[in-house]
Amino acid sequence: GQNIDQPTEMTATEGAIVQINCTYQTSGFNGLFWYQQHAGEAPTFLSYNVLDGLEEKGRFSSFLSRSKGYSYLLLKELQMKDSASYLCAVRDSNYQLIWGAGTKLIIKP
Amino acid sequence: GAVVSQHPSRVICKSGTSVKIECRSLDFQATTMFWYRQFPKQSLMLMATSNEGSKATYEQGVEKDKFLINHASLTLSTLTVTSAHPEDSSFYICGCGSGEAQPQHFGDGTRLSIL
């Protein structure tokens, strides 16, 4: 079956750096997405990786290794507003999006 | 860019009522629209996928006669929850895709509460 694993919850300190990992086993691969979802709101798109390597976008970066079935989302200079759930999603060979359960990130002052 | 409007944002109604949720892509054409349901503290659960002008494809366990989907144009899809019951109370979110290599963009969601 298809599976995406990410930690359930992480805690970090304001101003610090945090890395949220995601591992996947899917039927084929056509890209990996990271989304941010604040409580009670819909997800918002953060990043897209389809080739190996690091994609940087401001304070957020996302890394992909297709051979390892692994990605991470790196958040720098953490702010209180970064407290949210972070969802990893992989598009399989049928272009269907397979969702992880999300990682709840708690930022402490 | 990539703005998706979902309406209404919140619905509270009595059991047995049918509820219609609209999803519009405002500044792009959504070739595919996705409807999700999310229960508290859980991830998104895909209910159905629809392409403009064709019948929706429902995920296993989702009743197509209860959750009616109409994808009338490249910018509008509707989900109707027919004869809603308290167990249908959830957060419903639409996602719009404009191509296989493009990310989905989401509406703000509809919080449905059935009394």
Provide the chain A residues 57-86 that lie in CB contact (below 8 A) with chain B: none
Tokens 């197509």 correspond to what residue?
A: B64
**Residues A28, A34, A40, CA angle at the centre, nearest 5°?**
125
**B111: which chain A residues are within 8 Å (Cβ-Cβ)?**
40
Provide the chain A residues 10-39 that lie in CB contact (below 8 A) with chain B: 30-31, 33
CA dihedral (A18, B103, A95, A23) in degrees, to 10, reads 0
DSSP B15-71: TT--EEEEEEESSS--SEEEEEEE-TT---EEEEEEETTSPPEEPTT--TTTEEEEE
What string of pLDDT tens digits covers the 109 residues of chain A?
A: 789 999 999 999 999 999 999 999 999 999 999 999 998 888 999 999 999 999 999 999 999 999 999 999 999 999 999 999 999 999 988 888 889 999 999 999 9
Q: What is the pLDDT of residues B49-101, one digit of tens each?
A: 988 878 899 999 999 999 999 988 889 999 999 999 999 999 999 999 887 66
